[in-house]
Amino acid sequence: MIRRTNIKYLVVILAVIYFLHLYFTTNNSQPSLSEPSESHEKLKFELEIPRKEVPVSNNFNHTRQIGKAKACFVILIRNEDLHEFRATMRQLEDRFNHKYNYPYVFLNDVPFTEGFKKFTRALTNAKTEYGLIPKKQWSVPDYIDTEFLEERLEEMEDDEIAYGGSLSYRHMCRYESGFFFRHKLLDKYDYYWRVEPGVQFYCDIDFDPFVYIRNHDIKYTFTVSLREYPETIPTLWKAVKGFIKKYPQYIEKDNLMDFISDDNGKTYNLCHFWSNFEIGDLNLWRSEAYLKFFDYLDRKGGFFYERWGDAPVHSIAAALFLKKHQVHFFNEIGYKHEPFMHCPKEEKLQLKCHCDPNKNFDFDSYSCTGKFIDLVSKWKLEKFRGRGN
């Protein structure tokens, strides 16, 4: 009995000696409480973030693209618009992209912050890319009279024209009109979906719009159309008519002139597709016709001296350069950019939506969508009758 007790004491003493030795060996540098030892920091890091979860590249998204088109979302955005865009991106993922994983291309005239990248990556399994706009494309070109520009900014500000005094808004409109499709990050894509911060998507999109437009030879699509403020584009149509006269070979015979003019081209009726939503073919803007069109307009100075928007510029180009069937109204996509909303009225579509069809803007007196639908319906009827003959 005495011998067993002695053995127990001996085991305890040896254990105490071993742990004292281990303690003094690992703490001989006497680190302070405010500066943990390197070994403790390493252990803490490995406990909090397992080594296998540490990203191996700058892109956290590795899920394979499921969508079958060479397409992406394009977002021109500022860092400060991050949280407004997060709500939009969440809806877009829930309503559509979680099934397809099309990539996002973010563009900015200043570098994106790490926080912006972190929070946008967290909302999708798709690839995300972040591009810096070349300075030359976001500045006043040397053929613009800067003194006259300053005068015009003050005049339009005094006249209370929307964004009349904003130079940055002009840069945005000019960039969306003539440069976004030239960014190197878009070189590998054929189709794009333009998305802006704060817009809402109301309906489940249970088909692939990119594949749909590819299979049906569609080049440009919209959900909302309306009339432009005439004060922002007083000389735009004069410039367009000058282009048509100089380059008649680029004008499509089966065009949509009747959508943008009520008198066969003499005047502009102000109708345009609201370009904060666009799903389209990038090769429309890359075409020789459009590049010459943009350059012609740009040299007139209206993006700066007036306030030409990308919406009428894109719309006029689509109406002149495309065939009627190549412009499409996506009725299935419920969408809102304040203050206008497209909300499908058909019951079978409403079952997939959460918007109020009574607030649909399509047939408001200020909307041009009804005009577009009438033109397309008339064209389809004529085409049908032609086949019958």
Tokens coding 45: 């890091």
Q: HEC string of 205-216?
A: CCCCHHHHHHHC
The residue type at 36: P
Tokens coding 187: 């070189």
* Residue 57 three-state SS: coil
> Distances in Å between the alpha carbon of 126 and those of 65, 89, 201?
7, 12, 18
Do residues 195 and 73 lie in contact, with contact meaning Cβ atoms separated by under 8 Å? yes
Q: Interhelix angle for 236-246 vs 288-300, to 10°?
A: 130
Query: Of 126, 123, 112, 114, which Cα lies nearest the Cα of 76?
Result: 112
Q: How far apart, in Å, do the first and last CA atoms of the chain sit?
A: 118
Candidate list 278, 288, 306, 332, residue with the active-site label:
278
Tokens coding 358: 């009574």
**Exposed, middle or buried, 110 (CB in 10 Å: 0-12/13-18/19+)?**
exposed
Do residues 106 and 75 lie in contact, with contact meaning Cβ atoms separated by under 8 Å? yes
**Exposed, middle or buried, 169 (CB in 10 Å: 0-12/13-18/19+)?**
middle
Tokens coding 222: 């919209």
Give the separation between CA 360 and CA 353, rounded to whole angstroms: 13
The reply to whether 338 belongs to the active site is no
* Residue 173 three-state SS: helix
Distance of CA 56 to the CA centre of its chain: 27
Query: Of 173, 368, 160, which Cα lies nearest the Cα of 258?
Result: 368
Do residues 278 and 221 lie in contact, with contact meaning Cβ atoms separated by under 8 Å? yes
Kindly list the catalytic residues.
Answer: 278
